[in-house]
Amino acid sequence: MIYLNLVDELICVLCWGITIRLILIRHLNSETKVARFNTFAFVLMLLNLIVVLPIFAFLLKNLPIQSVSWLSSLVVATIDVLSTFNLILFCVFSCCTCLRKCPATVQGFLVLGAAVKHGQVPPVLATRLDKAINCWKTHQSAKIIVSGGIVQKAKESEAEVMAAYLIAHGIPARKIIRENKALNTWQNLAFASQL
């Protein structure tokens, strides 16, 4: 039982470690890679739900209560359950957000930056910009504020790269306001509010 506990905890740590790494990778340069990484993360979480959590339930039921193995199983299982629940909530929230329609009245749109690599818009950022483009088409009097500074030794600010993307997709340059100093989300909001 002790070995089963250790193996289960190791599998749990590997599933979550790899999944977190996949979630944090920001420089995916194609939608195919994004789909592949998302599928892999989904498989890992499925393994977590179908194999790891039931083994924890079995161990907690059959190990001697208050033993070191039982306590470590309890701690890891609790963290795993809470993390899995939060990930499921995040996925549901993300799906609901994607389905939301543009507001009825708009004066402007704020698009927060995400790390760009070699002056290219990664898929995560492209999704944000595409949503702004679609909403702008119904509110063409609105301005689009793109916010993001120069990070990770880039040659251009995130705002400049985002503005180029918007212009390439038919948004007039005069409708785009660049905030190119922000280096994190807090600064995105603080500096953009001054505009």
CA-nearest of 139, 148, 138 to 192 is: 148
**What pLDDT score was predicted for residue 178?**
94
CATH of the domain at 134: 3.40.50.620
Q: Which tokens in the block code for residue 62?
A: 């059959």
Q: Domain boundary at 99, 116, 147, which?
A: 99
Q: What is the count of structural domains for the chain?
A: 2
Those residues whose C-beta lies under 8 Å from the C-beta of residue 186, and which sit 6 or more positions away, are none
7 φ/ψ angles, rounded to the nearest 5 degrees: -65, -45
The yes-or-no verdict on residue 39 having pLDDT over 60 is: yes
User: Are the C-beta atoms of 167 and 132 separated by less than 8 Å?
Assistant: no
Looking at the fold, whether 82 and 125 belong to one and the same domain comes out as: no
Dist CA 177 CA 189 (whole Å):
14
Looking at the fold, whether 91 and 8 belong to one and the same domain comes out as: yes
- Per-residue pLDDT averaged across 32-43, rounded? 78
pLDDT tens for 75-116 read 999 999 998 888 888 778 877 776 777 777 778 899 998 878
Q: Which tokens in the block code for residue 175?
A: 């409708």
Domain housing 29 = 2-99
**What pLDDT score was predicted for residue 169?**
94
Dist CA 80 CA 68 (whole Å):
18
Looking at the fold, whether 141 and 180 belong to one and the same domain comes out as: yes
Query: If you average pLDDT over every residue of the chain, what do you get?
Result: 85
Q: Which residue has the tokens 């195919």?
A: 32
Q: Domain boundary at 99, 116, 132, which?
A: 99
- Per-residue pLDDT averaged across 154-160, rounded? 88
Those residues whose C-beta lies under 8 Å from the C-beta of residue 166, and which sit 6 or more positions away, are 129, 132, 133, 144, 146, 176
Range name among 12-16, 26-30, 44-48 with the lowest pLDDT average: 26-30
Looking at the fold, whether 7 and 95 belong to one and the same domain comes out as: yes
Q: Quickly state the pLDDT bin for 29 (edges 50, 70, 90).
A: low
Q: Which residue has the tokens 């994607």?
A: 98
Looking at the fold, whether 27 and 52 belong to one and the same domain comes out as: yes
